[in-house]
Amino acid sequence: MTDFSIRVSVFLAVLTVLLWWQWRKPAKILPRQQTGLRWRHNLLLFGSGILVVRLFQPLLLSFVSLYGHSGLLSHPELPFWAAMVMSLILLDGVIYWQHRLFHTLPWLWRLHRVHHSDPSLDTSSALRFHPVEILLSLGIKSGVILLLGIPFEAVLLFDIVLNASAMFNHTNVRIPEPFETWLRRLIVTPDYHRIHHSRSIQEANSNYGFCLSLWDRIFASYTPHPHRGEAELSTGMPQTRHYAPATLNSLLMMPFWSKRQENMVFRGTSARCNR
């Protein structure tokens, strides 16, 4: 099997299991009138992101193949298993800081708020990213791979784990509390990540982790529970009206809105999340 077929096979298998799970045991009953539109938008954004990756990935991979053998983790005396483990942990840490940066810099938040504009959370929300954000993420990851000399096998495994984790922690399910409390010590769970999608800026600027939960604990960005309780947690764009873009074009153009357009939707609040 090629690396592409492995990625697709695992993606479809994980997606199928999670869709079945949230259909059988949903944490919240989501508005049916929104579901079709949300899924259409999320799948179309996902498709546009795949096109961007397929267009630019060969160029980035050529740089990695030419110059990616002199990094810290490509040292001949370092055991392969150790390079794999270190690579996975370091890549997850990079994703944490990348995510945090997208909430801090106004021009990056303009891109990332497309993801946060989803009025409800379910498995499809993990697919909802602006294609320019996907391209920037690909560039950042490629730079880290070059710098550290991360093995191809570790990159493939990390991509699979990251995609599976993103779908899992956006899924509309609730894990029984004793097990969930234990599980979130290791990984990001749906209840854990749902807080990050809160319309409260304080809560949205926390719980940045995607796979491992240790980064939020280490860097003091961990919020264990919604301040007003799980039942009162409202997800969507921080400090705005309950905004749900009506068309795919409005989602694609959201990062490039003028101040006037922003003020109409955001009631004069900044495009920046962490104000």
Q: Is the pLDDT of residue 274 over 60?
A: no
pLDDT of 32: 78
- Give a yes or no: residue 27 inside a domain: no
- Give a yes or no: residue 67 inside a domain: yes
**More confidently predicted of 275 and 137:** 137
pLDDT of 9: 95
Question: Sorting pLDDT into bands at 50, 70 and 90, what band is 15?
Answer: very high
pLDDT of 250: 85
pLDDT of 65: 62
Rounded to 10 degrees, the C-alpha dihedral 185/190/192/197 comes to: 160
pLDDT of 275: 43
Per-chain mean pLDDT for the chain = 87
Instruction: Name the domain count of the chain.
Output: 1
Give the list of residues 6+ apart from residue 195 with CB closer than 8 angstroms, or none: 203, 206, 207, 223, 225, 226, 233
pLDDT in tens, 194-206: 999 999 999 999 9
Q: Which residues pair with 26 in a beta bridge?
A: 173
Q: How far is CA 74 from the centre of its chain?
A: 28
Q: What is the DSSP letter of 73?
A: G
- Give a yes or no: residue 130 inside a domain: yes
User: What is the residue range of 144's domain?
Assistant: 3-17+35-266
Distance (Å, whole) CA 238 – CA 33: 22
pLDDT of 273: 56
**More confidently predicted of 158 and 268:** 158
- CB 155 within 8 Å of CB 60: no
- Give a yes or no: residue 174 inside a domain: yes
pLDDT of 261: 75
The mean pLDDT of 2-6, rounded to a whole number, is 84
Residue 187, φ and ψ in degrees, nearest 5:
-130, 170
pLDDT in tens, 127-149: 999 999 999 999 999 889 888 88
Share of the chain above pLDDT 90, in %: 57
Distance (Å, whole) CA 90 – CA 84: 10
pLDDT in tens, 78-136: 888 898 999 999 999 999 999 999 999 999 999 999 999 998 999 999 999 999 999 99
pTM recorded for the entire structure: 0.89
Question: Sorting pLDDT into bands at 50, 70 and 90, what band is 234?
Answer: confident
pLDDT of 34: 78
Q: Is the pLDDT of residue 60 over 60?
A: yes
Share of the chain above pLDDT 70, in %: 87
Low-confidence winner among 31-40, 198-207, 236-245 (lowest mean pLDDT): 236-245
- Give a yes or no: residue 274 inside a domain: no
Question: Sorting pLDDT into bands at 50, 70 and 90, what band is 271?
Answer: very low
- Give a yes or no: residue 250 inside a domain: yes
Helix axes 3-24, 152-170, angle to 10 degrees: 20
Give the list of residues 6+ apart from residue 55 with CB closer than 8 angstroms, or none: none
Q: Is the pLDDT of residue 268 over 70?
A: no
Question: Sorting pLDDT into bands at 50, 70 and 90, what band is 33?
Answer: confident
